[in-house]
Amino acid sequence: MVKERITMAKARIWLSVGLAALVALGALLSAGQPAHAQDTTNLLVNGGLENPYYGQGAPTRTAPNGWSLWVGAGAPEAFPHTDKVQVLDGEVSWNIKQGYAVFTVAGYQRVSGLTPGESVKLTAYGWVYTCNDTTTSCIIPDFPYRRSDTAAGASLKVGIDPTGGTDPLSPNVVWSGSAAPYDQWAELTVTVQARGDSVTVFLYATQSAGLALNNVYWDKVSLVRATGGAVTRPAPAEVPFVTPQGVRPDGSIIHVVQSGDTLSSIAYAYFEYGVTIESIAALNNLKPNARFLQIGQELVILPPGSVDPVTGKIISGGGAAAAAQPTLVPTPVPTPTPLGGEGETTPPQPAPQATPAEPPVTYGAVQAEFVPLERGAMFWLQDTNQIFVLTYGVDDLSGTYKAYQNTWMEGMPEIDPNLEAQVPAGFSQPTRRFGQAWRTYAGVKDALGWAIDRTTPYTALVVRQGGTIVFNGPEGRVYQFDAEGNWQAFSLIEAQ
């Protein structure tokens, strides 16, 4: 599948129109006129996952009123959890667990009464606790009082089936990004358009290794009608967990099939490179619906020259977009047909060429935050709850970026007191959600350095098309992000 790029000219047009709309909205608010408010009514039954809980086919497996539990692997227990450390809202959270085994589960609820085409947004909070030490249970003296063993390879996500189906493995399900929120709450969110009068929401959890103690907690789930929100791009449905394998020296990625691997799970593991089930199947002469792979079989995920083996970044012109190009077969020229007169022929008619459709453009006003650092910057967008980490290249107008799931929530520490003595004069630690990402995601702190100013909250106009994202910053610039991990900035005045 060829990825379309957004040109700067288009970005300028969209942002010019959208920023004018934001200015108009600001004028309305300053004049005291009420803006059109989003309906925040929770469409779910028992979104708080409160008591009572009912049996789900096993004596120790229960689900809160209004919910059901799908089990894809293992034999987990599920019950209301009352320890306030893992209760975010109300009296209980939903605890799903199994010791010494891998399990895959999804809580789900079907919601009716919708209008086809209207957008709905699902938000849920998840927490993971895993430990392989039954003597101490990984207890520590400070909050959150346990430090998980991340070897469990836990993964949480939320999804919506816009057709109202109840199978979490259905290709219709649109998923949020995955998160592994060990010992903390993470917000997960996804927005879709209903295809009928019903949708089904899913709370999905899986892992790659069964430790002695494996616990997932869910709480504070909501489904609301979304006005103006960008629809989440579908990700491949998750199936058994697959660990992605590294880039080879020739710039290729080859996946050696392990027990339980499927084309779906393999495509999901390499989702960041833009690969699909179809692109993997085409590179390996397989059918996209192939159900059986051989253990030890080597599958080409990306051909040689696709990825820089040092940086792990897609090389311009390579990657899944190039790999997915169909093989061109010369079209035979038809033999001219006489019209009746000597030497008169019908000229060959070219075969009609299908024009590939451009990916749809979505845009909307989104709450955002920005903080500048020594060697880059960080943005947070509320609609996807992602943090964009930008590192500078040759100047502060371009470079590379990565997007991470925000895992910070109100009530968590805003800074690390242990680092305060190391802060150079005139600098500071990034705070709150930015500080959490800066400290916990590998390499971010070293890449960016210290904060050079405070966090600025603002309203961003976010434009998306395919894998490209464009939005404005609070400091008079517009930022464009491509699907290969590159960004560039230009003046907001120039954009208009």
Q: What is the pLDDT of residues 21-46, one digit of tens each?
A: 444 444 433 444 444 455 689 999 99
Split at pLDDT 50, 70, 90, the class of 63 is very high
Report which of residues 231 and 215 the model is more confident about: 215
Q: What is the pLDDT of residues 153-197, one digit of tens each?
A: 888 999 999 999 999 999 999 998 788 888 888 888 899 999 999
State whether the Cα torsion 384-390-395-396 is positive or negative: positive
Whether residue 333 lies inside any domain: the answer is no
Question: Does one domain contain both 114 and 181?
Answer: yes
Q: Do strands 361-373 and 376-381 pair parallel, antiparallel, or not at all (unpaired)? A: antiparallel
The domain that holds 188 is classified in CATH as 2.60.120.260
The domain that holds 294 is classified in CATH as 3.10.350.10
Question: Does one domain contain both 204 and 285?
Answer: no
What are the C-alpha distances in Å from 177 to residues 48, 181, 238, 246?
A: 22, 12, 11, 21
Question: Does one domain contain both 373 and 446?
Answer: yes
Torsion angle of C-alpha atoms 308, 310, 311, 316, degrees rounded to 10: -20
Q: What is the pLDDT of residues 232-283, one digit of tens each?
A: 555 443 344 566 777 888 888 899 887 767 777 787 677 667 777 778 888 8
**How crowded is residue 100: how many other Cβ atoms within 10 Å of its Cβ?**
11
Whether residue 9 lies inside any domain: the answer is no
Whether residue 264 lies inside any domain: the answer is yes
Residue 141 to residue 126: CA distance in whole angstroms: 23
Q: Which two tokens stand for residue 333?
A: 């020229």
Q: What is the pLDDT of residues 312-346, one digit of tens each?
A: 777 765 555 444 443 333 334 344 434 334 444 44
Whether residue 426 lies inside any domain: the answer is yes
Question: Does one domain contain both 140 and 205?
Answer: yes
Q: What is the pLDDT of residues 445-465, one digit of tens each?
A: 999 999 999 999 988 888 887
Whether residue 177 lies inside any domain: the answer is yes
**How crowded is residue 485: how many other Cβ atoms within 10 Å of its Cβ?**
16
Question: Does one domain contain both 216 and 261?
Answer: no
Whether residue 196 lies inside any domain: the answer is yes
Cα angle: 360, vertex 365, 370; to 5 degrees? 115
Question: Does one domain contain both 70 and 183?
Answer: yes
Whether residue 355 lies inside any domain: the answer is no
Whether residue 332 lies inside any domain: the answer is no
Strand partners, 107: 69, 203
- Say what percent of the chain tops pLDDT 90: 41
Question: Does one domain contain both 282 and 373?
Answer: no
In this prediction, residue 69 carries a pLDDT of 96
Q: What is the pLDDT of residues 356-387, one digit of tens each?
A: 555 666 777 888 999 999 999 999 998 888 89
Q: Please check the confidence at residue 430 and state whether its pLDDT lies above 60.
A: yes
Question: Does one domain contain both 265 and 198?
Answer: no
Residue 279's domain comprises: 253-323
Question: Does one domain contain both 138 and 261?
Answer: no
Q: What are phi and psi of 160, to 5 degrees?
A: -135, 130
What domain count does the chain have?
3
Q: Please check the confidence at residue 469 and state whether its pLDDT lies above 60.
A: yes
Model pTM? Answer: 0.47
Question: Does one domain contain both 442 and 381?
Answer: yes
Classified as helix, coil or strand, 47 is coil
Question: Does one domain contain both 373 and 483?
Answer: yes
Q: Which residue has the tokens 């800074």?
A: 415
Task: Tell me 312's DSSP state.
Answer: -
Residue 161 to residue 141: CA distance in whole angstroms: 42
Question: Does one domain contain both 67 and 166?
Answer: yes
What are the C-alpha distances in Å from 307 to residues 103, 251, 253, 383, 412?
A: 33, 5, 8, 30, 38
